[in-house]
Amino acid sequence: MSYLQMIIVTGASFFITLILGPIVIPILQRLKVGQSIRDEGPKSHMSKSGTPTMGGIMMVLAVLITTLTAGLSGEQMKDLYVMLFATISFGLIGFIDDFIKVVLKRNLGLRAYQKLIGQVLIALILAIYFLKTSSYKANIYIPFIDTSIDFGILYIPFIVLFVVGTTNSVNLTDGLDGLASGVTLIIAAFFSLVAVKMGMPSVAIFCGALTGACLGFLRFNAYPAKVFMGDTGSMALGGAIAAVSILTNLTMIIPIVGGIYFIEALSVIIQVVSFKLTGKRVFKMSPLHHHFELCGWRETKVVIVFWLTTFVLCMIGLFGIRI
C-alpha cells in the first residue's frame, strides 16, 4: 500500500460523498427529518432548527462503496469487515435513535440504558474477536515509552470501556457545524498515514475512505450547515475510530490525538458531578464547545481552534509512535 494509493482512495470517497449530498439531502428534507434544538442550548442555535439530520448515512455509504471496491482480498478483507462492522453497527444504533427522535417525534429517542446495552454488546463482540485473532493478543502498546503492557484478563473490559467511551465522546463532540466531521477527518488521516507505515493496507484504505468521506461531508456540514450527521453519523465515526485504533494496537494514542473527544466528554462528566455534589456548574454549558460559545466566541472560531488543536495533537502523536 503506497501513499499514492491511499490518496486515490481518499479522493474516490470524497467524490462519492459529494455525489451523494444532492441526492440524500433532498430526500431527508422531503421526509422532514429536521433537527430539533434544545431550549436550554445556546440561543444562536435556534436558527438551526429544522435542518435535515441523519446525514451520516452519506459518509457510511461512501466508506462502504469505496472500501468494498478497493480490491482487497484474503486476510485483508477480514480486518476490513471488522472495521465496517463497528462502523455500521454503531451507526445503526445512532440511526434508530435519530429515527425515533425525528420521524416518530419522540424527542428523547432511545433511552440511555437501551443505547448503552447495544453499545456494550457490540464492544464485547469486538473485544472477544480481537483477543482471539490479533497478533498483539492482550498486549496494549504504550506510546512515547515504546513498550507494551499485557492486560491479561482485563483486556476485554478495557476494550469494552474504550469502545463505548470513544463512540460516546465523538457523539458529544458533534454539536457545532463541521466540528465532529473536521476533527475526525484529521484523526482518520493520521491513522491512514500510520497504517501505511505499519504495512496494514486494509486499515490504510479504510482510513483513507473515512478521511475522504468526512472531507466530502464538510462540503454540506460546514457553517452554515445544510445537513447534520445526527447520531447516525457520530456513532458510526466513533465506532470506526475505535476499531481502527484497536486493530493498530494504538488505543492509548486516542487520548492524545483524540484529545478534543476526550475533553468534550470530560467536560460533561465534570459538569454533572459538580452540579450533583455542589449545585454549581464549572462551565457555562457543556460539552466544552458550548462553553466557549457562551464566552463570546463565534461558532466558526470554536470549530477552527478545535481543528487546529487536533492537528497539533496528531503531530505530537506521530512522535509518540515508533514504527
Helix (H) or strand (E) holding 150: strand 147-150
CA dist., res. 287 & res. 267, Å (int): 6
Helix axes 155-173, 179-198, angle to 10 degrees: 140
How far apart are alpha carbons 171 and 91 in whole angstroms? 11
Which amino acids are annotated as binding site for Mg(2+), given as ranges? 171, 231
H or E segment to which residue 50 belongs: none
Give backbone dihedrals phi and psi of 142, rounded to 5 degrees, phi first.
Answer: -105, 115
Distances (CA, A) of 89 to 60, 167, 186: 11, 11, 23
3-state helix vs strand vs coil in the chain, percent to 5: 70, 5, 25
Grid cell listed for 238: 466513533
Instruction: Give dist(CA 126, CA 27) in Å, integer.
Output: 33
The kind and range of the H/E element at 162 are: helix 155-173
Cα(268)–Cα(272) distance, rounded to whole angstroms?
A: 6
* Binding-site residue positions: 171, 231
